[in-house]
Amino acid sequence: MKKGRILIVDDDHAMRLALSESLESFGYGIVAAENGREALSIFQKNKFNLVVTDMRMPGMTGIEVLQGVKKLSKDVPVILITAYGTVSTAVEAMKEGAAEFIMKPFSLDELEAVVERVLNASDGEASQNEELPDPADRILTRDPKLIAIMDMLRNVSKSKSSIMLQGESGTGKELFARYVHQCSNRRNKPLVAVNCAAIPHNLLESEMFGFEKGAFTGALQKKLGKFELADRGTLLLDEVSEMDMHMQAKLLRVIQESEVDRLGGSAPIPVDVRLISTTNVNLNAAIENKTFRSDLYYRLHVIPVKIPPLRERNGDILYLASCFLEKFSKDKGAKKPVLSDRAAALLNAYPFPGNVRELENIIERAVLMTDGDTIFPESLCLDLENTPAAGSMPAPDAPPDLDAIPMGSDMTLKDVEKTLINETLSKVGGNKTKAAKILGISVRTLWNKVNEYGMADHA
């Protein structure tokens, strides 16, 4: 009994014959074409469950075959095979809708596993799409760069290719990992996260690979590792740069062999896991410093994605602030407050070293500290003293009136800070104790600021 019909496309006669005979031996019905035009002509007249095509062919490339198949039938998956794989070609293939990207040389067992996985995923995709909500609803953004990243991640999510999410702390790397999982064909299977920085090095191996009862003192019962728990799903390696070199070598073997050895086990256990890793450090520098393996890096870095920091997404600052205001005021059981013009200007000028996580904490604190319907700068409690400057910007034509500062006005943080201190001191008649309390800083810090800015009237 045939398991499904597959169209093979390859200009190399020997490779075409090898692929055809191999897949036929696994029970698939095979039709072969020696070039892209012939393949599309055959595809148009017959029904197939899968197309397997070489990438580099004269006349029509594998990408063009993929595009032609998708125009004729969006539901038939396409696997691309190449000996010249690069990050850019893999990303291009996934953007066009390739189901998988196989690198030569590969074993027959690997070919069968990929084909079976793609066909099984294709069978279950429609029902999965109906059952689950759009995962994009969890990521709040209006930034074009971030929206483009989400579109790319959605396109590559159907493959098994490893994704590396790079970005500063607080940018939401784990949220994007969950977004990939929810967009993928593995969404009904587990997403298992491992914080490589939080687990002691001597315990990480047993956490990742599991152990058998009696494997060591205290192993009173069998424990499944993270790889087994994530089988047929997604494994998130959070802060993968913190993994020691010994563990990196073991992880590399698991990725290469698609099997794990439990501590104390007698035989390897096959696993099918899609890997997503995150890091906030420069792994190229770590490789140069010999703290991270280059071979593991290239295994994890198939599809690299850099999440931009919040300071590079200025349009998101006030949008996210508004979303957080609504969230925390609802938790508090109060009416949603608004930001005063000067508070909004201060947020727009702030560089947010802690990114979205820091903004969320700032707004949560401000909502708790505010009883009225307006949030003023003193409730934000921004750490202006210990925060790097946002950059030099030209001053406005006239001295700023804080109540009238427009969104995104050309002022530095020091300009805003100086004007805020001056206005607050004026309102309290120069009483530095009261002013310091309102501003959320110590009296000593206030004195230092008055002297630094040369505020003779308040010295």
The verdict on domain 313-421 having CATH code 1.10.8.60 is yes
Q: Which CATH architecture has domain 5-131?
A: 3-Layer(aba) Sandwich (3.40)
Comparing CA positions, the residue from 184, 182, 136, 175 lying closest to residue 156 is 184
Contact in structure between 191 and 233 (CB atoms under 8 Å): yes
pLDDT tens-digit map of 95-148: 677 888 787 777 777 788 888 888 876 654 433 443 444 554 478 888 889 989
Distance CA(382)–CA(353), nearest Å, equals 11
Domain with CATH 3.40.50.300 in the chain: 149-308
Distance CA(62)–CA(90), nearest Å, equals 12
Domain with CATH 3.40.50.2300 in the chain: 5-131
Contact in structure between 141 and 191 (CB atoms under 8 Å): no
Domain with CATH 1.10.8.60 in the chain: 313-421
Torsion of CA 418, 421, 423, 426, to 10 degrees: -130
pLDDT tens-digit map of 278-312: 999 999 999 999 999 999 999 999 999 999 999 99
Question: pTM for the full model?
Answer: 0.59
Q: Which two tokens stand for residue 40?
A: 């599309």
What is 149-308's CATH topology? Rossmann fold (3.40.50)
pLDDT tens-digit map of 224-280: 889 999 999 999 999 999 999 999 999 999 999 999 998 888 889 999 999 999 999
